[in-house]
Amino acid sequence: MGFLTFRGGVHPSEKKEMSQDQEIKVLKLPDTVYMYTSNHLGAPAKPIVEVGEKVKTGQKIAEASGFISANLHSPLTGEIVSIEKMVNAASGRKDDVIVIKKTSEDDWQLLPHNDDFTKFTSEEIINNIKEAGIVGLGGAMFPSHVKLMIPKGKKAETLIINAAECEPYITIDERMMLEKTDEIIKGIEILLYASGIEKAYIGIEENKSKAIKTMIEKTNGKNIEIKTLKTKYPQGAEKQLINAITSKEVPSGGLPIDIGVIVFNVSTTYAIYDAIINGKPLVERGASLTGEGVKKPGNFLYRIGTKVNELLENVGLIDEENIDRILYGGPMMGIPLPNIELPTFKGNNAITVLTKDILPKREDFPCIRCSSCVSVCPIGLQPYLLKKYSDTRNYDTALENGLMDCIECGSCSFICPSNIELAKSFKTAKKVVRAMKQRRG
Amino acid sequence: MKLNTAAAPHFRTKDSTRKVMSDVLIALTPAVIASTWIFGLRALYIMLLSMISAEVLDLIIVKYIRNKKNYKPDLSASVTGLLLGMNLSMAVTWYQILIGVLVAIVIGKHVYGGLGQNIFNPALVGRVFMIISFPTAMTTWVKPFYYQNISNTISLKSIDAYTGASALGIAGSEGFQNSLSQYSYWDMFIGKIPGSIGEVSALFLIIGFLFLALKGRIKLTVPLTYIGTVLIFSGIFYTINPEKYGTPLFHILAGGLILGALFMATDMVTSPMTKKGQFVYGLGMGIITMVIRYFGSYPEGVSFSILIMNALVPLIDIWAKPRIFGTSKKEVAK
Ligand code: SF4
Ligand code: SF4
């Protein structure tokens, strides 16, 4: 059968079987949570609570501070014990963290909500999504309400729900589709209603056949269509997903809305349902805790801001000697943690613990121009060449050759027989270029 | 707990450059065995001497001149050495081989900066140097199975009695019909003809090549367009004057085309990076090979055509770069 896909890409081993059949368990409340004010893409939120203040679960504790920014809410009913700096493994910077200690079980402070979402206008829905602090839960953490605010002169025509879940190990989106099917479908209907789009597509990789079947059954008769995608990394990358489903390409340097498309991850869709129907701001989410380094991999609903070590207590770690690295996310794009006592983010769809024996030592060789990196790059870049330009700080030429188009998917590094750190170089080079641009103004 | 914070992706392919190279060596093995069967132990000796001396020389250069003390061989020099050996005639002497290896490794490879940096296929650089320096030895071909008639197969003292012209040589001097009357297509296909040690057996070269192709180790477009171009080009000339120009099948099987197209032109380092570029590259080699064979004074054109196209690869790569996602073809062009 010909499944939909994009050009390029790689086939890392899937490893989904470790947690695929594990039902989502709700974890007991942590004693303390640590909320990064940078819990989303864009400007950090501004704290609106003081140390010593009592807060309810769902109460706003920090406010969005720019167009691309998001509100932050308390995941616990408790007391603000401090606002301190902690390392943010994603950026390497130290960021402000609001520390909240639990004093009792949940006492919720809810947003306005209604079982019948059509009682709201579309502006009200977008505003509620903004109030609820919802960001892209696939990992990118882009504020959801911004996607729904269509710029003048543009028109949203297609809604795509990203359920590709192409990273190895991670199974939370798949579990969500199986266990929260009706809620997700309702979430999609809310999005259709709020955006005025006629039809939604759900893109799912073929290796999640149960989810595909369930979704097809439950969406029968609705204007939601399931699109089966080839299992290939990075099938869930926004541009590649759009390309597979619509055959259109997001213009270089542009956004999906430039070609009339908006994309939400399935778990984000669930969060939107929870906010609009139940009035719950984004304070908890699901994640897979998995990898060869954990004893009992599984899927869990956890409060955002729980420390990674506390989360991992629920699955048990194997012999520490054999643990190589612990990641926010999966093995292709996951961010390695410098230590295990760091808090989780809104975007943490998985914590993956990798062992030494599955990560064999690799040797470095010079580039042999094997062209593998060129043929797997989903963007059509020439990684071997970009690497040369980045390393020699020839940024102008690198830019001419599409440096900024790199989606940092890591397919090139994955495939390189010479173990060359291609994606890492591009990440750094892109940062440098952005910094230079800022300085020039 | 000590955590590793190496950069993503954390998964990598199990492949390595050394594995790529050893797969090429494995792929060449059937042809090496076939050549030994056809030309005797001396053929094996030539190929091994060339291969081992190339690897040793490379090791010395990298360790002691480039000063990479903990360098472990990547086997690329063995590939170069073996291919050079396969491209030699049975009449070369040990010191000629060593000179060829020296030129291949030093001038063909290390003056450019070592593995991955060279523009020209090092084995061919060595070979062409030997053709110019030792023209007689390099064009003295022994007959298949000559060794059944002489006692000392390693030193080749009495070689003169057992030499014969190569199929392409006969075609060049006496016309291709004469060539075909001496060697059948089948002889050419399995390699029972005089010629360079490793180039004669198309069958065993193809077997090895299929192994590489199945493992996805080869830029497939290159051999397909190269051989395809030779087929079409010689087909056209054959239609014009069958007596004079020879059949397409003859041109594919008679000389070094199979070895060149499958294993020399496909050298990763010196061939283009995109399918589009590889297409032009193959096309160019096909045309140049046939122009040399038809109109040149030298009967064979494979080595030269590959080297000439090697020189054009940097330009081809610029011209044939892939289209960046989300840009129109026009935009990419400007
Ligand atoms: S160059 Fe960028 S987009 Fe292309 S494969 Fe590498 S990381 Fe992915
Ligand atoms: S995959 Fe690695 S060795 Fe191959 S061309 Fe790209 S950078 Fe060079």
pLDDT at B318: 93
Strand order in the sheet with A60-63: A46-47, A60-63, A72-73
Dihedral sign, Cα of residue A49, residue A54, residue A58, residue A59: negative
Dist CA B76 CA B110 (whole Å): 12
Q: What number of residues does chain A have?
A: 441
Instruction: Summarize the confidence of residues A268-294 as an average pLDDT.
Output: 97
B333: confidence class by pLDDT, cuts 50, 70, 90? very low
Each residue of A175-203: pLDDT tens digit? 999 999 999 999 999 999 999 999 999 99
Dihedral sign, Cα of residue B224, residue B226, residue B227, residue B229: positive
Residues lining ligand 1, judged by CB closer than 6 Å?
A 376-379, 381, 383, 406-412, 422-423, 426
> How many CB pairs below 8 Å do chains A and B form together?
156
Concatenated DSSP letters of B127-174: HHHHHHHSHHHHT--BPTTGGGT-S-TTT-TTGGGGB---HHHHHHHH
Instruction: Summarize the confidence of residues A358-364 as an average pLDDT.
Output: 87
Each residue of A89-120: pLDDT tens digit? 888 889 999 999 999 999 999 999 999 999 99
Task: Provide, as residue numbers in chain B, all residues whose Cβ is less than 8 Å from the Cβ of A370.
Answer: 17, 20, 268
Assess whether pLDDT exceeds 60 at residue A338: yes
Q: Which of B11, B269, B327 to mutate to test the interface with A (most CBs of A within 10 A)?
A: B11
Instruction: Summarize the confidence of residues B205-231 as an average pLDDT.
Output: 94
> Are the beta carbons of A166 and A235 closer than 8 angstroms?
yes
Each residue of B108-150: pLDDT tens digit? 999 999 999 999 999 999 999 999 999 988 888 888 887 777 6
Ligand 1 atom 4, closest CA: A377
Instruction: Report the share of chain A in percent with pLDDT over 70.
Output: 99
Cross-chain residue pair B8–A323, CB shorter than 8 Å? no
pLDDT at B1: 81
A293 touches chain B (CB under 8 A): no
Ligand 2 atom 7, closest CA: A384
What is the rounded radius of gyration, in angstroms, for the C-alpha atoms of chain B?
Answer: 21
Q: Residue A302: which residues within 8 A CB-CB, separation 6 or more? A: A27, A30, A284, A285, A286, A287, A311, A344
Phi/psi at A228 (5° precision): -85, 125
pLDDT at B144: 84
Nearest to B5 among A331, A336, A379 (CB): A336
Assess whether pLDDT exceeds 50 at residue A123: yes
Q: Which of B1, B16, B17 to mutate to test the interface with A (most CBs of A within 10 A)?
A: B17
Cross-chain residue pair B17–A418, CB shorter than 8 Å? yes
Dist CA A39 CA A344 (whole Å): 9
Task: Provide, as residue numbers in chain B, all residues whose Cβ is less than 8 Å from the Cβ of A417.
Answer: 13, 15-17, 19-20
Q: Which of A250, A320, A371 to mutate to test the interface with B (most CBs of B within 10 A)?
A: A371
Cross-chain residue pair A416–B13, CB shorter than 8 Å? yes
Q: How far is the CA of B72 from the centre of ligand 1 (A)?
A: 29
Q: Which ligand has the nearest atom to the CA of A420?
A: 2
> Are the beta carbons of A181 and A308 closer than 8 angstroms?
no
- DSSP-derived letter for residue B319 is H
Chain A 113-152, residues with CB within 8 Å of chain B CB atoms:
none
A399 touches chain B (CB under 8 A): no
Q: How far is the CA of B268 from the centre of ligand 2 (A)?
A: 10
> Are the beta carbons of B241 and B289 closer than 8 angstroms?
no
Dist CA A353 CA A359 (whole Å): 11
Cross-chain residue pair A12–B11, CB shorter than 8 Å? yes
Amino acid at A145: H
Beta strand spans in A291-329 (E): 298-303, 323-328
Q: From chain B, which residues contact A within 8 Å (Cβ)?
A: 1, 3-20, 72, 74, 76, 114-117, 219, 268-271, 273-274, 321-327, 331
How do A54-55 and A224-229 pair as beta strands?
unpaired
Task: Provide, as residue numbers in chain A, all residues whose Cβ is less than 8 Å from the Cβ of B74.
Answer: 365
pLDDT at B155: 60
B159: confidence class by pLDDT, cuts 50, 70, 90? low
What is the rounded radius of gyration, in angstroms, for the C-alpha atoms of chain A?
Answer: 21
Assess whether pLDDT exceeds 90 at residue A2: no
Residues lining ligand 2, judged by CB closer than 6 Å?
A 367-373, 383-384, 415-418, 420, 422
- Average per-residue pLDDT for chain A: 95
What is the Cα B230 distance to its own chain's centre?
Answer: 16
Dist CA B194 CA B143 (whole Å): 5
Dist CA B220 CA B172 (whole Å): 31
Phi/psi at A62 (5° precision): -150, 150
> Are the beta carbons of A391 and A424 closer than 8 angstroms?
no
pLDDT at B181: 80
Dist CA A181 CA A193 (whole Å): 18
* Dihedral angle of Cα A246, A251, A252, A255, to the nearest 10 degrees: -90
Q: How close B204 comes to chain A (CA, Å)?
A: 24
Chain A 410-439, residues with CB within 8 Å of chain B CB atoms:
410-411, 413-419, 421, 423-424, 427
Q: How far is the CA of A338 from the centre of ligand 2 (A)?
A: 29
Q: What is the ipTM of this complex?
A: 0.91
Nearest CA in chain A to B320: A382
How do A72-73 and A60-63 pair as beta strands?
antiparallel
Assess whether pLDDT exceeds 80 at residue A316: yes
pLDDT at B332: 40
Ligand 1 atom 2, closest CA: A406
pLDDT at B161: 62
Each residue of A365-374: pLDDT tens digit? 999 999 999 9
pLDDT at B331: 47
Cross-chain residue pair B114–A252, CB shorter than 8 Å? no
Answer yes or no: pTM beyond 0.90. yes
Concatenated DSSP letters of A11-78: -----GGGTTTPPEEEPPPPSEEEEES--SSSSPPEE---TT-EE-BT-EEEE--SSS---EE-SSEE
Q: Apex CA B315: angle with CA B312 and CA B321, to 5°? A: 130
Assess whether pLDDT exceeds 60 at residue A362: yes
A340: confidence class by pLDDT, cuts 50, 70, 90? very high
Q: Which ligand has the nearest atom to the CA of A412?
A: 1
